Amino acid sequence: DLDAPVRRYVPELKLADEQAAAQITVLNLLNHTAGLDWNLIDDGKGDRSLAGLVAKLPELPLIAPPGARASYSQAGYNLAGRIIEKVTGLPFEQAMASLVLEPVGLWDTVYGLAEVMVRKFAVGYNRGDDGELHPARPWGAFKEGARGDNPGGGLASSVSDLLRWARFHLGDGEGVLPAEA
């Protein structure tokens, strides 16, 4: 239920503003109107689970009352991912794979950092201070179990899967959405 308060699904949600914590809806998270600041991400330290990131939300400042304005929020998408975990009983990445990626046939679309390294994905490069080119995202530097900022980011895909995803959206949603949707 997009209009349900987030606490229906994540009753342990705490924010610096208790009233805001009680008011934020699932839709607020998805359309970036929850009032949460953007920058609560997996920094590679401590608990990398979505539950761990949600536990850090009281540290995050609110930038507006829920529903007042749109502002991109990585933290909001991480909280939405935690809702998916609670509703499905699966880790976010597994839920997305079984409910979305596999039914659409996106076999070369992955969240796992280790998975990216064994697939044929392009790697971006940045010029370092030394003038040399270096991989833009040092995948090997992430420790085992790092999330790659999921669910707000970190999904890697091939060009053929991106085209398949576009065709899915141009079609009728077959394979993922029930006919009555």
CB 54 within 8 A of CB 83: no
Share of the chain above pLDDT 70, in %: 80
- Sign of torsion, CA 13 16 18 20? negative
Instruction: Name the nearest CA neighbour of 13 among 60, 64, 45.
Output: 60
Q: Is the pLDDT of residue 28 over 90?
A: yes
- What's the mean per-residue pLDDT of the chain? 83
Up-side HSE of residue 131: CA atoms within 13 Å toward CB? 0
Q: What is the pLDDT of residue 161?
A: 92
**DSSP state string for 144-160:** TT--TTTTTS--EE-HH
- Mean pLDDT value across residues 92-111: 90
pLDDT confidence band for 74 (50 / 70 / 90): confident
Q: Where are the beta strands (DSSP E) in 99-139?
A: 109-110, 125-127, 133-135
Enter the tokens of residue 81.
Answer: 């991912």
Of residues 26 and 159, more confidently modeled: 26
Has this prediction a pTM greater than 0.75? yes
* pLDDT value for 47: 64
Domain boundaries along the sequence of the chain = 6-88, 92-170
